[in-house]
Chain A
């Protein structure tokens, strides 16, 4: 088939940086017990503390897929658009499957049917806003735009 594996590997190498950032956030989420919690990471730079503190506050909420067709393309698109409008990290989980809610491709891998409970985890400076916005999308079955929060 004449596939160029070397070129493909090089492409992967080039994307490693963003993956590590995401992994760091995931590690934080896994390491913390029930939330919200604030954890001081002991930065040597006082000016960094506010940012780090806000990153370490993890907000969790269980959301249910109520629409008949499940978490198909359009709902995933609406979630991704909402998440991308905020600086906070947003993770949706179904069991051991975790998806960066800013990535449509990752959200589609959840394959969540009607009635499925998903875990929503948000961390960042505008966490409450995005938490409420994404929850509202689930609550209205992705049928109408979320109310302003």
Chain B
């Protein structure tokens, strides 16, 4: 599985408006809806499910990255949105630092393997300092998509 297999091109937000964890999650789920990956009537329910998951423990994993996620019956395949927050978002991360890169995942409940492979893929690339640095430097959706393609081809 590659990043470009599950990241939705129309759900890349290169500059999130200043805000908090909830507003960031809402903006990203809205981008998935606008891209046609989820239905409008499911949007609020998905936001609520992701926020409920965050109550179990923050998905801010350090290194300025968060991976909020949920399993939801509204999708039949793993989908992801990416957002950059230039000013940082307080995600109550383990290391206490703000988050600048957010990968938001929605996966079908009956395909846990796809969810695990999506997390594995994202984590593997996030361990690469160059990938994180270049991602944060990206200015447009096209920049980010190009970077994901290069990462998939092991060109970073």
Interface residues of A (CB under 8 A from B): 1-5, 7-8, 11-12, 15, 68-74, 77, 104-106, 108-114
Category for how many chain B residues contact A: 20 to 34
How many pairs of residues, A versus B, come closer than 8 Å at their CB atoms? Answer: 73
CB distance from A78 to the nearest CB of B (A): 9
Contacts of B133 in A (CB 8 A): 3-4, 7-8, 11
Q: Are A5 and B130 in contact (CB under 8 A)?
A: yes
A105 to B61, Cβ gap below 8 A? yes
> Chain A contacts of B116 at CB under 8 A?
70-72, 111-113
Separation of A145 and B139 alpha carbons in the complex (Å): 44
Query: What are 24 A-B residue pairs whose CB atoms fall within 8 Å in the complex?
Result: A1-B138, A2-B137, A2-B139, A3-B133, A4-B137, A8-B133, A11-B133, A12-B129, A12-B130, A69-B71, A69-B112, A70-B112, A70-B116, A72-B119, A73-B67, A73-B69, A105-B62, A105-B127, A106-B127, A109-B120, A111-B117, A111-B119, A111-B120, A112-B116
State the CA gap A96–B111 with chains docked (Å): 25
- Chain B residues with CB under 8 A of A5: 130
The A interface is mostly helix, strand or loop, or mixed, namely loop
Per-residue A-contact encoding for B103-129, CB less than 8 Å = 1, 0 else:
000000000110111011011101101
Query: Which of A15, A72, A108 makes the CB contact (< 8 A) with B112?
Result: A72
Query: A71 to chain B: which residues have CB within 8 Å?
Result: 116
A11 to chain B, nearest CB (A): 5
Minimum CB–CB distance from A134 to chain B (whole Å) comes to 17
Report the separation of the CA atoms of residues A73 and B143 in the bound assembly, to the nearest whole angstrom: 28
Query: Of the candidates B94, B117, B129, B130, which one forms a contact with A15 in the assembled complex, judged by CB atoms under 8 Å apart?
Result: B129
Contacts of B3 in A (CB 8 A): none
Chain B binding surface SS class: helix
Q: Are B130 and A8 in contact (CB under 8 A)?
A: yes
Q: Which 7 A-B pairs have the closest CB atoms?
A: A111-B120, A108-B123, A8-B133, A111-B116, A69-B112, A3-B134, A8-B130
For the complex, give the distance between the alpha carbons of A1 and B130 in Å.
Answer: 13
Please indicate the chain A residues that have their CB under 8 angstroms from the CB of B134 in the complex: 1, 3, 8
Asked whether, in the complex, the Cβ of A8 is within 8 Å of the Cβ of B119, the reply is no
In chain B between 45 and 75, which residues have their CB closer than 8 angstroms to a CB of chain A?
56-57, 59, 61-63, 67, 69, 71
Chain A residue numbers with a CB within 8 Å of B143 are 1
CA distance A29 to B23 in the complex (A): 46
Query: In the assembled complex, which residues on chain B have CB atoms less than 8 Å from the CB atom of A109?
Result: 120, 123-124, 127
**B147: interface (CB < 8 Å):** yes
Question: A105 is contacted by which of B126, B138, B147 (Cβ under 8 Å)?
Answer: B126
B42 within 8 A of A: no
Closest-by-CB residue of B relative to A111 is B120
B76 within 8 A of A: no
B146 CB within 8 Å of chain A: yes
